[in-house]
Amino acid sequence: MSSFVHLPLNTRIYYLDTCVWSALAESEAAQAGSMSYFQSSGRAVALSYISLFELSRASKIFPGGDSLFLQLRHQVYVPCLYDRVIESELKSFPKTWKMRWLPLSLLIDESSPRILKPLANNPHFVKSRDEHYQFGLEHFMSLEQLKENFPPLHGDEYVVDDASCFAWGTAMDYLGQHFPDFLKSNWGFIRKRGFDSLDSLLSLRIRSLFLFFKYYLHGQSPGKSDFLDLAHVLYAPYCSVFVTERNACNVLNRIKSNGLMLCDTENLHVSDFLAKMSRVSNPV
């Protein structure tokens, strides 16, 4: 797929989780507010492929979705970041990888009133969806084994100080399973940099930290459907504002407050974001 663009560095990129799009599609007032808010200079919206599928399945419940995306098509971008984003990150390792974006307007047939379903059936996105589910089946659920491979460093339970070690161990486990040749050829750099080597593998790092703070720190185990959350949090390091449901927002803010990453990302709960957007769009 071509026609990717690099957004200007001063662009504030807003990642909206599926729950945010659903809230916008339900309310005409919120839709009008979003139009005013995102048409302001310097703002762009990130729409991930996983949201496309989730919203497409719920299109009967949220019939306003097609109209919303048609109106916002020039402000919305699909990030070139899928579940196997590691492949793109590895290409420039150990350099920082820059996100590429696909303008939504290029994917929309403006002569058709239907937006979500055709997008969700796009072969490129279908391939990405299949890769994501395959990842969940083959890798995510096996992370329970990490409790045996990477036990707590202090006593019988994980503590916050274990987070960096856990993230690094999880990342190395992933690379060992899926990219053994890369791991072998770059082992000297990885061993020398240690935990800092994850600075060039942001999606892998945030996924590992999210797992740690949401599950392992509290002695819980991921459920079969929980890996879908990771399809959203992968985007957090690449966006200026990440809007999601309360639990995920709290987990990301805890990662941020402990100085582990996301120092340039503002994490917001959906209701707080909608209120903020309303105040800006309709000043007193």
Cα 151 to Cα 155: distance, rounded to the nearest angstrom: 9
Task: Tell me, yes or no, whether 89 lies in a domain.
Answer: yes
Look at the block and give the residue holding tokens 């185990």.
Answer: 221
pLDDT-derived band at 254, boundaries 50, 70, 90? very high
Q: Taking the model in full, what pTM does it have?
A: 0.88
Task: Tell me, yes or no, whether 5 lies in a domain.
Answer: no
pLDDT for position 209: 93
pLDDT-derived band at 140, boundaries 50, 70, 90? low
pLDDT for position 93: 67
Task: Tell me, yes or no, whether 1 lies in a domain.
Answer: no
Task: Tell me, yes or no, whether 7 lies in a domain.
Answer: no
- 57 touches 93 (CB < 8 A): no
DSSP class of 70: H
Alpha carbon 228 to its chain centroid, in Å, reads 10
Largest CA distance in the chain: 63
Give the mean pLDDT of the chain.
81
Task: Tell me, yes or no, whether 268 lies in a domain.
Answer: yes
Task: Tell me, yes or no, whether 92 lies in a domain.
Answer: yes
81 pLDDT exceeds 90? no
User: Which range marks the domain in which residue 30 is found?
Assistant: 12-281
Task: Tell me, yes or no, whether 201 lies in a domain.
Answer: yes
250 pLDDT exceeds 60? yes
- 243 touches 235 (CB < 8 A): no
Task: Tell me, yes or no, whether 100 lies in a domain.
Answer: yes
Quote the number of domains for the chain.
Answer: 1
Cα 16 to Cα 108: distance, rounded to the nearest angstrom: 19
- 69 touches 116 (CB < 8 A): yes
Instruction: Write out pLDDT tens, residues 104-132.
Output: 888 888 888 788 888 778 787 777 777 76
Cα 33 to Cα 281: distance, rounded to the nearest angstrom: 6
pLDDT for position 160: 92
1 pLDDT exceeds 60? no
Instruction: Write out pLDDT tens, residues 20-67.
Output: 988 888 888 888 888 888 887 789 999 888 888 788 776 666 677 888
In what helix (H) or strand (E) does residue 79 lie, and over which residues does it extend? Answer: strand 76-79
